[in-house]
A and B are shown apart, each in its own frame.
Chain A
């Protein structure tokens, strides 16, 4: 039976489906990021927690009811960054709801200045939204002159909404080189971390 439908229209619809699926492959990238943002999947923690100005270690954000968790610190270097980068302490016990400070050490052993950007990640992934950073070198790009060494503070607290069965959070930073011709100009530029 000859179909009453128009073959040209069918071909157009099928062609549009192909174009739509090609676009969908690209749409999966932002969709995945939205998924990660909602679930914390991937462990990305990109936002700066705003609680009060001039917060110091020991500031009580909320009452965590004496609950304590362990926070571990990791550091990694991305490909092509001639730096040494490590946490100054491997782990610490922290009171939930209280601001704590730790430090990361970095040294540029190249003979020229190099700019890097640190990307944070928290494991387990669903703990990512509970580990709030108040101050962090990862919020901006960092430029180190030849041979320069720095100690960079991280101010953070563990939110009381952390799931009860989690006793340990691991905070990891990967430092990636920033490919920029204008390293000096980029020094104080505030990187918008949200697109990460």
Chain B
């Protein structure tokens, strides 16, 4: 029925067998591995784009590229990192870990799972092919604002649109799969309120995906019909309004940023109790806080549009609703700190990344609060302050959380412990590098340096040179991370089944390394 690796017909060439195994696999661990590897590849591609434009920004003036190519790099960096690196990494972790954490033998819809993954290479093939086209790649920023993307977009914009739709289909199918798995395949005795936090945050994220991704698909379809089929959704001469694009896009866009962070909350909520050797403080409030953040994410999109001339009442609504999100987020941070309080803490690499997550994500949260204040947002709008904010929530947020998860679970996946010394070096270099890269952006932003411009005024030179140096150091840490992963996969001290002294949960009852098939008879949870 299912093309598992072990029932591919024998007698074929080993390479054919290898390709068929990964092409046809319906095993959640293999698909999780595919997602994680794919996202890591795109993480390097997106990072290369970032280093390209950071090199340009090291000095004022134009040294390496024109403004056109700079804009293309900025656009592709954003799109690749959001949709190609962060989201597939979290989907990969979900595929790998959710069945293990709820005691299921696999995802509920394994063939759909395979389909969801294999759409992704095509989606990003379409997007990245735009770099080699006449007129260049899309150059209007990852937010695709009309009319830059409709009337003035290069021809390759259509490839972005089709790639975006494919990616949306992949995410939606993946989310449906996760919801159905969590609702139906939990081990006997595992009620919803006994689920691990990673499963909970992913369940809520999956609902966000179901609600938000179709809106993105809708808005890019409107772009497509505006470009080629004579509609005027965003064309003022035909009775449309470019502002509608921003409303529809951000109606998707704000839930999207929580799609990129909620699984990270879940990961931190798994790791911190393990290394504090205490149960998670306030489990139920964590669940409710996550749900509250998800609900609020649909009514705050206007805070991206304070400068568009909204009526005062609308600005006030979006300002207060946005600031309200700080309450459930504060509950979460409080709970993490309370979990560590009086705990017997040790600081292995996953814990370091989780703590880095809590501390620096909170910095990003505070700059988010500053941006939420409508009257002052007019100064911050479209400056590097916004760039600093999104990178403080996404880098120490989504990416540190993913790295923490990899260090936390890789001994279980491979049966080998990673190199603790290298892991610690990785963490501390990454902390130094990312603060060197992104912290100066607060200052140049407040000083008035606009984002998405290839050149800047002379007074911003020093801080920009720092940021570029930090960015290249940050690039080096990724190579170190890749090396650590390869080293761990190839060998290392054997991991025990429980791996971490304080680890609790079904996945730690399984042998290390994990066999291909697990929980074929569901465990009993009491």
Interface set of A (CB-CB < 8 Å, partner B): 1-3, 5, 7, 10-11, 14-15, 17-26, 28-29, 32, 36, 39, 41-42, 78-79, 117, 119, 125-126, 174, 176-177, 195-196
Contacts and interface: CB of A to CB of B under 8 A. Distances in A.
B431 interface: no
24 contacts: A1-B188, A7-B108, A10-B179, A10-B183, A14-B180, A18-B172, A18-B210, A18-B213, A18-B214, A21-B213, A21-B214, A21-B215, A22-B215, A25-B214, A25-B218, A25-B219, A29-B233, A36-B241, A39-B311, A41-B310, A41-B311, A117-B237, A174-B236, A196-B239
Given A21-B210, A177-B237, A3 B184 contact: yes
Contacts of A18: 172, 176, 210, 213-214
Contacts of A14: 175-176, 179-180, 210
Contacts of B515: none
Given A15-B176, A18-B214, A1 B191 contact: yes
Contacts of B151: 79
Contacts of A36: 241
B247 A28 contact: yes
Contacts, number: 104
Nearest to A126: B311
Nearest to A21: B214
Nearest to B220: A25
Interface string B356-378: 00000000000000000000000
Given A21-B210, A41-B310, A28 B179 contact: no
Contacts of B238: 176
- Return the 4 tightest CB-CB contacts between A and B, nearest first: A25-B218, A176-B237, A21-B214, A22-B214
B211 A17 contact: yes
Contact of B218 (A1, A26, A79, A119): A26
Given A10-B184, A39-B311, A79-B151, 6 more contacts: A11-B180, A15-B176, A21-B214, A24-B215, A29-B222, A42-B243
A172 to B, nearest CB: 12
A78 B218 contact: no
A15 B247 CA distance: 24
B309 interface: yes
Contacts of B188: 1-2
B-side binding surface: helix, strand, loop or mixed?
A: helix
A79 to B, nearest CB: 7
Contacts of A2: 184, 188
B480 interface: no
B189 interface: yes
Contacts of A125: 309, 311
Contacts of A196: 239
Interface of B: 108-109, 151, 172, 175-176, 179-180, 183-184, 186-191, 210-215, 217-219, 222, 233, 236-241, 243-244, 247-248, 251-252, 309-311, 314
Given A25-B251, A42-B243, A119 B236 contact: yes
B311 A1 contact: no
Given A3-B184, A42-B243, A28 B251 contact: yes
A5 B183 contact: yes
A3 B189 contact: no
B214 A119 contact: no
B108 A25 contact: no
Nearest to A25: B218
Contacts of B314: 41
B127 to A, nearest CB: 21
A25 B248 contact: yes
Contacts of B183: 3, 5, 7, 10
A26 B175 CA distance: 22
A1 B189 contact: yes
B103 to A, nearest CB: 10
Contacts of A19: 214
Nearest to B188: A1
Contacts of B189: 1
Nearest to B186: A1
B237 A119 contact: yes
A3 B190 CA distance: 11
Contact of A22 (B176, B217, B247, B309): B217
Nearest to A8: B180
A117 B235 CA distance: 14
A159 B430 CA distance: 63
A19 B180 CA distance: 17
Contacts of A15: 176
Contact of A25 (B109, B190, B215, B310): B215
A22 B179 CA distance: 19
B237 A78 contact: yes
Contacts of A17: 210-211
Nearest to B525: A1
Contacts of B222: 25-26, 29
B79 to A, nearest CB: 19
Contacts of A28: 244, 247-248, 251
Contacts of A1: 186-191
Contact of A32 (B175, B187, B247): B247
Contacts of A195: 239
A12 to B, nearest CB: 10
A52 B276 CA distance: 80
B5 to A, nearest CB: 25
Contacts of A174: 236-237
A88 to B, nearest CB: 24
Given A17-B210, A42-B241, A174-B236, A10 B180 contact: yes
Contacts of A10: 179-180, 183-184
A22 to B, nearest CB: 4
Contacts of B241: 32, 36, 42
Contacts of B236: 78, 119, 174, 176
Task: Point out which of A3, A21, A79 has the most chain B C-beta atoms below 10 A from its C-beta.
Answer: A21
Contacts of B187: 1
A59 to B, nearest CB: 31
A17 B206 CA distance: 12
A18 B217 CA distance: 10
A100 B222 CA distance: 41
Given A32-B247, A42-B241, A7 B184 contact: yes
A14 B206 CA distance: 10
A51 B251 CA distance: 41
A79 B217 CA distance: 28
A20 B219 CA distance: 14
